[in-house]
Structure 1
C-alpha cells in the first residue's frame, strides 16, 4: 500500500503514489507528496491553472495499516477501483469525501 495524491482532470485520474522520485513535491512529513509542490513539476497538458483547479484527493495509511482516501466530493465512486489499483491498496479503504475548502476546486467557485 502506498500513500500519495491524485487529481481528476476531465475524466482521467492522475495518480502519484509516493516514491520520493520527485523531491520537489514531497510534503513536510516526508512520507507523501504535497499537491501544491508537486503540481509545479507535473503541470498536465501545459495548462497554467493552479494546483487547486481540478478535483483532487489523497491516500493516507493509518498506523494500523488501514488505507484512508480523502477526496473532493466531485470525484465519484466510479474512480475508487482505479485509485485502489494505483496506490496498491490491499483491502477496502475508508473513503472520506472532504467538503472543506481544502479540497475545493473550480466546480465549487
Structure 2
C-alpha cells in the first residue's frame, strides 16, 4: 500500500503514489505529496488551470495500516478500482467524501 494524491482530469485518473523518489511536491510531513506543490511537476502539458481546478483526492494509511481515501464528492465511484490498483491497495478501504474547501473544484462552484 502506498500513500499519495490523485486528480481526475477530463474523466481520467492521474495517480501519484509516494515512493520517495520525487524531490518536488513533498508535504510538510515528508512522507507523501502535497497537491499544490506537486501540481507544477505533474500538470498536463499546456494546462493553465490551477491545482484545485480538477476534482482530487488523497490516499492515507492509518496507524493501524488501514487505507483511507479522502476525495472530492464529485469523483465517480467508477474510479475507486483504479485508485486501489494505482496505490496497491488489496484490502477493504474507507472512503471519505470531503465537502470542505480543501477538496473543492470547478464542479463545486
Q: Structure 1 length normalisation: TM-score? A: 0.97
Task: State the superposition RMSD in angstroms.
Answer: 0.7
In structure 2, the partner of 1:42 is 42
Structure 2: state its 5+ residue gaps. none
After superposition, give the CA deviation of every residue in 1:56-78 in whole Å (9 maximum; x if it has no partner).
00000001000000000010111
CA 1:47 to 1:102, structure 2 compared with 1: closer, same or farther past 3 Å? same
Q: Is 2:1 aligned against 1:6?
A: no
* Counterpart secondary structure, 1:8: strand
Residue number in structure 2 paired with 1:97? 97
Q: Which residue of structure 2 aligns with residue 82 of structure 1?
A: 82
Q: Which segment drifts farther, 56-65 or 16-25?
A: 16-25
Gaps of 5+ in 1: none
The structure that is helix-richer by fraction is 1
Query: How far 1:21 moved relative to its partner?
Result: 2.2
Q: Which ranges of 4 or more aligned residues in structure 1 deviate by more than 3 Å?
A: none
